[in-house]
Amino acid sequence: MQRRKIIIDTDPGQDDAAAIMMAFGSPDELDVLGLCAVAGNVPLSFTSRNLRIVCELCGRPDAKVYEGALKPLDRPQVTAEHVHGKTGLDGAELPEPTMQPQSQNAIDFIIETLRREPEGTVTLCTLGPLTNIATALTKAPDIAGRVQELVMMGGGFFEGGNITPAAEFNIFVDPDAAKIVFGSGIPIVMMPLDVTHQLLTTKARVSKIAALGTRPAQVLVEWLAFFERFDIEKYGSDGGPLHDPSVIAYLLKPQLFSGRDCNVEIETTSELTVGMTVVDWWRVSGRKPNAKVMRDVDADGFFDLLADRVGRL
């Protein structure tokens, strides 16, 4: 079976960590060419640190970690310590990483990799703000036609927003970057809050991960316990939405998801709705579809897949 070559762009974050664990737990299907840290949930210094902690937890100190954008393209940095804790990986006690980031920056790594690998053979998996990807596209417009697919966690439509009533965090942090990516022509698969709000870390689902009895599983359960507390309080739900692993799950089992090709535009001017993903689900605008927008998911199937892959670490 041909392994799928992927680049993960991420702002760990406990849910990012779960996604990366799922990816490293799937070596027969996924070839992780590199992992790029971006400022998002916490500043870049922490997302880089956290990314290396996750790699070492997964037994992958050989993985290549690159550091990208320190801040959004044109706006002040917005972070989410209130959700993820001061470090961005609060909830579990782990040693500082010993592996170092690569000397090459993430933007040049993304450009160089896409130019080197055969056209249409590298998938970009984005779990945070799209600043790194937009910067690479601006610096090297030729790479847009070389991307196999960009599978992203971000946006929301019927579910509204989570950082403002209209906007989801990853898009809100850097709406200008999102506008560039959605206008790039890259084949996009969008995992919005409409999907991830169905992926609740219920006690029954988390207990299956805990039952694995491995150190990575134990740490993930501790991270989830911390991560979900904010959303349980906010939504009054049994568990919190586990956003980012939806991206990796799509690569492994796309049949878990369903959606449709839609036009998606990004609001970047109105202060009331900046960062909103305007999804033309009912195709009333006449605008050309530019993303496959997912809306439904087999949540139990997703969590079975997560437990299975984490259990392989």
Site size for ligand RIB (CB under 6 A): 15
Site size for Ca ion (CB under 5 A): 6
Name the minimum Å distance from CB 36 to ligand RIB.
14
H or E, element range at 181: helix 175-182
One symbol per residue from 102 to 141: x for binding ligand RIB (CB under 6 A), - otherwise; what is it? -------------------------xx-------------
Name the minimum Å distance from CB 110 to ligand RIB.
18
Tokens coding 7:
């680049």
One symbol per residue from 243 to 262: x for binding Ca ion (CB under 5 A), - otherwise; what is it? -x------------------
Check binding of 13 to ligand RIB (CB under 6 A): yes
Nearest to 170 by CA among 221, 246, 110, 228: 246
Stretch that binds Ca ion, among 82-90, 112-120, 203-211, 242-250 (CB under 5 A): 242-250
Instruction: Answer whether 122's CB lies under 8 Å from 148's CB.
Output: yes
Tokens coding 189:
């698969």
d(CA 289, CA 72): 26
Task: Enumerate residues 6+ apart whose C-beta is below 8 A from 247.
Answer: 19, 125, 126, 127, 151, 152, 153, 191
Q: Contact with Ca ion (CB under 5 A): which of 35, 44, 127, 251?
A: 127
Nearest to 134 by CA among 105, 171, 169, 177: 177
249: three-class secondary structure by DSSP: helix
Stretch that binds ligand RIB, among 9-17, 26-34, 68-76, 105-113 (CB under 6 A): 9-17
Check binding of 11 to ligand RIB (CB under 6 A): yes
**Is 243 in the active site?**
yes
Positions in the binding site for ligand RIB (CB under 6 A): 11, 13, 15-16, 40-41, 127-128, 153, 162, 168-170, 243-244
Q: Which residues are catalytic?
A: 243
